């Protein structure tokens, strides 16, 4: 077992001025607190905090973080209090220990709600001081190193949790070696057979190609030495999990991978990095599409390096990573390489880690902890595509991101008002997949709000949560406005008064404290016609003449009721070939034989009912129900008569998540087709989004909607 003196020796190797007295004091306090406890392995419990602290010395962490590691389980598992820790070690260490205590029982794979809520606690704790997360990661690493003492079912749960949450968080902090070890230990538990096969294959390749790798390294060194540049070069072999993950992602075999082996060239200056690129590319051919400059454009975790793949000696593909020694330190130790972080203010800390700022913004936007957890997993696993604003600001996005994601990443308000975009100066659909180096200009409209359909197009958790939140608010507001209109018309028709003087008292009769909640429930039909009249009656404001026959009151002109959910035992149907969709303005026509017939207010067929306004009923859509059901709309398209035109139109419709239900060739000339297409869409916003996408196609001349 590791001893206290061995720990202090490890600290002194990189920090000779360490406060040995304080470290000894923390060790003694932890040892006494845990003296009667043992781990499942049978080892004294103090061995765990000692090992966690030792892991942190590998990343050259400061004394406060080491002491926190020694004390991290004391408040939760022993009689030691936070007040005692603060008294003996000060507020800084007490806050760090408190942050770890709050997430000490973090068990992300219990019940979904508990899992998500615990994850919220982790993000909030690390937002106050990122060292909380670093200690937590070291704690998890030691638990994974000793996981074999647990039953298999628990091992699987912990390994899955580690590979889905902790390993990606390590990557976001830039602590690559910690990320790789967490992945490998988890991979061994989750899929030991696959890992064994890959290791055997790597061992076989290593024995076959050891001379080749040595030869490549000598050849590279020989070429660089000609230019009198100081450097060091090291070969590396990819880890089994990284290889397996790439094989799964690209659906390829191990033999098809071209970059199992690579080389890192470490230099003294940035100038030397770019000189090496010139030297290497002049000597050997570069593989197109495999050059990435993370020096001029660092990754989100501050990683900097130049990556290139060349066709090297004997026509072997060789992956090179070229960086300075400082960059290499950051690449290996990530945030731990920034020795001065403990002196920064909270605001500066957030700006240092923009991905954390994004997580906190998502935390504020999310309707539920479950939404936050799922979308954060989505964020953590993504690599990056770098795009630019017209003013040159770099925006990092995940692969397959769209201009919608770009707009929300620039600013949430920009995403909310987005109506279109130009990519590299060309008008483009909002579902376009962005590529490295694209310049995107977002077109906005102050009155616009994102349609629900965008949630399926967006790739980032930030955009998805914002779209979902604003649409929930929009739906609630629509119901609230509808409810107010319904109540006003009830007052006008049934009440002796012109308005209700004390709305709060009126709402309380329905068990509600909020007027908005009351209006929303009325709009949804949860507070119905009879309930409102009973409340009028209790307030003694109901018109006595209306008590005679309440059933007939449903026919009163102007009573606004949802199309779905009104319970009046009156049959209703959509007018034949009406092709209305949720979001269209609609009327109901009260027909003595057919009940209520629903028309669009733009329908020409309304004319056959004459101008008898007493038969018209002002209807409102039940938005929630319409979102899960498709309605048929018709569009007419004039398009060029050329090969592939119909395929391009069909693809645009499909990518907009609309369904082609019927297609008719109306006319055809040598230059143009005219098509009528019936589409299944969710609502008017979805239809307009699809029409906008089709209009942008070069083969399309005109798109119009056809009603009757």
Of 589, 592, 588, 674, nearest to 634 by C-alpha is 674
Dist. CA 695–CA 71, nearest whole Å: 63
Exposed / middle / buried, residue 340 (Cβ in 10 Å: 0-12, 13-18, 19+): exposed
Residue range 67-73: mean pLDDT, rounded: 92
Q: What string of H, E and C letters represents the secondary structure of 65-94?
A: HHHHHHHCCHHHHCCCCHHHHHHHHCHHHH
Q: Which residues contact 494 (CB under 8 A, 6 or more apart)?
A: 533, 536, 542, 543, 546, 553
User: What is the predicted pLDDT for the residue at 584?
Assistant: 82
> Strand 595-600 relative to strand 572-574: parallel, antiparallel, unpaired?
parallel
**Residues forming the active site:** 76-77
From the CB of residue 410, how many other CB atoms can be counted at a distance below 10 Å?
17
| pLDDT for 366 beyond 80 | no
Residue range 78-105: mean pLDDT, rounded: 82
Confidence band for 342, pLDDT divided at 50, 70 and 90: very low
What proportions of the chain, in percent to the nearest 5, are helix, strand and coil? 55, 15, 30
At the topology level, CATH places domain 631-706 in Alpha-Beta Plaits (3.30.70)
Residue range 523-531: mean pLDDT, rounded: 77
CATH 3.30.70.260, the chain: domain bounds: 631-706
Dist. CA 456–CA 452, nearest whole Å: 8
Dist. CA 577–CA 591, nearest whole Å: 18
Query: ∠ CA 548-552-557 to the nearest 5 degrees?
Result: 125
Instruction: Give the residues across from 427 on adjacent strands.
Output: 422
Confidence band for 351, pLDDT divided at 50, 70 and 90: very low
| pLDDT for 149 beyond 60 | yes
Dist. CA 578–CA 600, nearest whole Å: 7
Residue range 281-289: mean pLDDT, rounded: 85
User: What is the predicted pLDDT for the residue at 688?
Assistant: 85
At the topology level, CATH places domain 4-192 in Hypothetical protein af1432 (1.10.3210)
Specify the higher pLDDT residue, 134 or 394. 134
Lowest mean pLDDT among 128-142, 155-169, 318-332, 595-609: 595-609
Lowest mean pLDDT among 17-21, 349-353, 610-614: 349-353
Residue range 517-535: mean pLDDT, rounded: 80
Of 393, 492, 403, 491, nearest to 443 by C-alpha is 403
Lowest mean pLDDT among 111-120, 239-248, 519-528, 681-690: 111-120
Of 557, 506, 553, nearest to 532 by C-alpha is 506
Dist. CA 182–CA 169, nearest whole Å: 11
- The 10s digit of each residue's pLDDT in 460-474 is 878 888 888 887 777
Residue range 241-260: mean pLDDT, rounded: 73
Q: Which residues contact 645 (CB under 8 A, 6 or more apart)?
A: 639, 673, 699
User: What is the predicted pLDDT for the residue at 531?
Assistant: 81
- The average confidence (pLDDT) of the chain is 79
Instruction: Give the residues across from 635 on adjacent strands.
Output: 677, 705
- The 10s digit of each residue's pLDDT in 482-500 is 788 888 888 888 888 888 8
- The 10s digit of each residue's pLDDT in 610-664 is 655 455 676 777 655 445 667 889 999 999 888 888 988 988 888 888 888 889 8
Q: Return the DSSP state at 21.
A: H
Residue range 267-292: mean pLDDT, rounded: 89
| pLDDT for 228 beyond 60 | yes
Confidence band for 557, pLDDT divided at 50, 70 and 90: very low
Question: Would you tell me which CATH number, out of the four given (3.40.50.300, 3.30.460.10, 3.40.50.150, 2.60.120.260), belongs to the domain 196-337?
Answer: 3.30.460.10
> Strand 700-706 relative to strand 418-423: parallel, antiparallel, unpaired?
unpaired
CATH 3.30.460.10, the chain: domain bounds: 196-337
Query: Which residues in 108-146 are b (16+ Cβ under 10 Å) and which e?
Result: beeeeeebbbbbbbbbbbbbebbbbbbbbbbbbbbbbee
CATH 1.10.3210.10, the chain: domain bounds: 4-192
Q: Which two tokens stand for residue 77?
A: 């598992």
Q: Are 182 and 162 in contact (CB under 8 A)?
A: yes
Residue range 606-611: mean pLDDT, rounded: 64
Q: What string of H, E and C letters represents the secondary structure of 396-455?
A: EECCCCCHHHHHHHHCHHHHHHEEEEEECCEEECCCCCCCCCCEEEEEECCCCCCCCCHH
Dist. CA 96–CA 680, nearest whole Å: 55
| pLDDT for 564 beyond 50 | no
**3-class DSSP assignment, residue 574:** strand
Of 24, 139, 18, nearest to 76 by C-alpha is 139
Q: Are 579 and 706 in contact (CB under 8 A)?
A: yes
Q: Percent of the chain scored above 70 by pLDDT? A: 79
CA 385, chain centre distance (Å) = 15
């Amino acid at each position: 077992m590791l001893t206290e003196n061995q720990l202090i020796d490890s600290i002194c190797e990189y920090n000779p001025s360490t406060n040995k007295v304080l470290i000894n004091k923390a060790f003694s306090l932890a040892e006494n607190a845990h003296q009667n406890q043992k781990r499942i392995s049978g080892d004294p419990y103090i061995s765990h905090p000692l090992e966690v602290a030792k892991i942190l010395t590998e990343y050259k962490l400061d004394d406060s973080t080491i002491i926190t590691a020694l004390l991290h389980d004391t408040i939760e598992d022993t009689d030691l209090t936070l007040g005692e820790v603060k008294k003996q070690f000060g507020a800084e260490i007490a806050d760090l220990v408190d942050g770890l205590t709050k997430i000490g029982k973090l068990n992300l794979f219990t019940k979904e709600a508990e899992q998500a809520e615990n994850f919220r606690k982790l993000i909030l704790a690390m937002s106050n001081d990122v060292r909380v997360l670093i200690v937590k990661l070291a704690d998890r690493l030691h638990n994974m190193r000793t996981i074999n003492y647990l039953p298999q079912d628990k091992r699987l749960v912990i390994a899955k949790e580690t590979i889905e949450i902790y390993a990606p968080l390590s990557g976001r902090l830039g602590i690559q070696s910690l990320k790789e070890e967490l992945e490998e230990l988890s991979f061994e538990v989750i899929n030991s057979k696959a890992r064994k096969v890959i290791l055997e294959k790597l061992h076989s390749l290593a024995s076959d190609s050891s001379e080749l790798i040595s030869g490549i390294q000598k050849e590279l060194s020989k070429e660089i030495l000609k230019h009198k540049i100081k450097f060091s070069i090291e070969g590396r072999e990819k880890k089994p999990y990284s290889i397996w993950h790439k094989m799964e992602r690209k659906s390829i075999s191990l033999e098809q991978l071209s970059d199992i082996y690579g080389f890192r060239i470490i230099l003294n200056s940035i100038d030397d990095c770019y000189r090496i690129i010139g030297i290497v590319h002049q000597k050997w051919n570069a593989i197109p599409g495999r050059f990435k400059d993370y020096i001029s454009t660092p990754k989100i975790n501050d990683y900097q390096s130049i990556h290139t793949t060349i066709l090297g000696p004997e026509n072997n593909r060789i992956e090179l990573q070229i960086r300075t020694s400082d960059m290499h330190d950051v690449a290996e130790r990530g945030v731990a390489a920034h020795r001065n972080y403990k002196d920064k203010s909270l605001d500066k800390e957030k700006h240092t880690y923009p991905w954390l700022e994004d997580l906190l913004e998502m935390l504020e936007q999310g309707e539920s902890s479950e939404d936050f957890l799922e979308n954060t997993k989505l964020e953590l696993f993504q690599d990056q595509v770098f795009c630019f604003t017209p003013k040159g600001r770099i925006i990092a996005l995940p692969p397959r991101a769209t201009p919608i994601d770009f707009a929300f990443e620039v600013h949430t308000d920009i995403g909310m008002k987005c109506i279109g975009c130009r990519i590299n100066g060309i008008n483009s659909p909002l579902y376009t997949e962005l590529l490295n180096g694209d310049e995107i200009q977002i077109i906005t409209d102050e009155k616009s709000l994102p349609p629900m359909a965008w949630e399926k197009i967006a790739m980032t958790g930030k955009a998805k949560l914002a779209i979902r939140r604003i649409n929930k608010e929009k739906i609630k507001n629509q119901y609230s406005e509808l409810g107010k209109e319904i109540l006003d018309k009830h007052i006008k028709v049934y009440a002796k008064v012109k308005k209700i003087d004390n709305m709060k008292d009126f709402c309380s009769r329905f068990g509600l404290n909020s007027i908005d909640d009351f209006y929303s429930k009325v709009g949804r039909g949860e507070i119905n016609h009879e309930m409102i009249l009973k409340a009028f009656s209790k307030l003694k404001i109901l018109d006595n003449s209306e008590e005679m026959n309440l059933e007939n009151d449903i026919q009163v002109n102007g009573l606004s009721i949802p199309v779905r959910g009104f319970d009046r035992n009156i049959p209703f149907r959509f007018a034949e070939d009406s092709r209305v969709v949720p979001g269209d303005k609609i009327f109901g026509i009260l027909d003595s034989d057919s009940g209520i017939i629903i028309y669009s207010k733009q329908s020409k067929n309304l004319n056959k009912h004459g101008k008898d306004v007493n038969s018209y009923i002002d209807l409102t859509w039940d938005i929630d129900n319409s979102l899960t059901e498709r309605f048929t709309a018709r569009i007419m398209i004039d398009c060029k008569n050329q090969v592939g035109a119909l395929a391009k139109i069909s693809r645009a419709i499909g990518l907009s998540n609309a369904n082609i239900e019927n297609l008719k060739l109306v006319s055809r000339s040598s230059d143009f087709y005219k098509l009528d297409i019936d589409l299944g869409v969710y609502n008017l916003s979805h239809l307009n989004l699809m029409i906008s996408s089709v209009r942008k196609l070069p083969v399309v001349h005109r798109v119009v909607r056809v009603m009757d």
